[in-house]
Amino acid sequence: MQDDLKLIDLSRTMDNAFPIPELKAEVEAILFASEQAVSLGELCRVLSAFHEIEVAEAELELFMQELMQEYAQSSHGFEVVKAGGGYLFMTKKNLQAVLAVALSERSKKSCRKRPLKRFLLLPINSR
C-alpha cells in the first residue's frame, strides 16, 4: 500500500452504518461479477484502490461474516459462502432440487436443437 493511504476502520459508527456507505453493494457487485471465489486479500486490494484508503483485512473479514449471516437468514435463493480460498455467491442448498430440474430442462431444450443443426449441416458437408 502507498504511505499516503489512511487505514479505515470498518467498525460500525454510532448510527450503525459502515464508513463506506456502499460497502455492501460494492462487495456484492464484485462477487456477482466473479467466475470464481474472491479472496479476502483481493477484496481489500480492490476496495482500497477504489476508495484510496487502506481497508484492514480483519475488519473486512468481520463484515463478510455478517454478510454471510444476513444472506443465510434471508429469503433470497442464494447466499454468500466461503469456499475455494475466498467468497462467492451460491444457490442455497434447499433449492438444489428445483435448480436441478431447471438445468435438466435447459439441457433437454439444448439437445433438441442439436440434431436439427447437424441435419442442416449434412447436405453442406456432403458436397
Q: Look at residue 113 in the predicted model and tell me its pLDDT.
A: 56
Task: Report the 10 Å Cβ neighbour count for 88.
Answer: 18
Question: pTM for the complete prediction?
Answer: 0.68
Q: What is the pLDDT of residues 1-30, one digit of tens each?
A: 444 544 455 554 434 445 677 889 999 999
Looking at 3.40.50.300, 1.10.3210.10, 1.10.10.10, 3.90.1150.10, the CATH number of the domain 7-91 comes to 1.10.10.10
pLDDT tens per residue across span 46-93: 999 998 888 889 989 999 999 999 999 989 999 999 998 999 999 998
Q: Is residue 120 pLDDT above 50, yes or no?
A: no
User: Position of cell 442455497?
Assistant: 92
Distance CA 95, CA 85 (A): 24
- Chain-centre distance of CA 19, in angstroms? 22
Q: Given the DSSP bridges, would you call strands 7-8 and 54-55 parallel, antiparallel or unpaired?
A: parallel
Whole-angstrom distance, CA of residue 16 vs CA of residue 22: 14
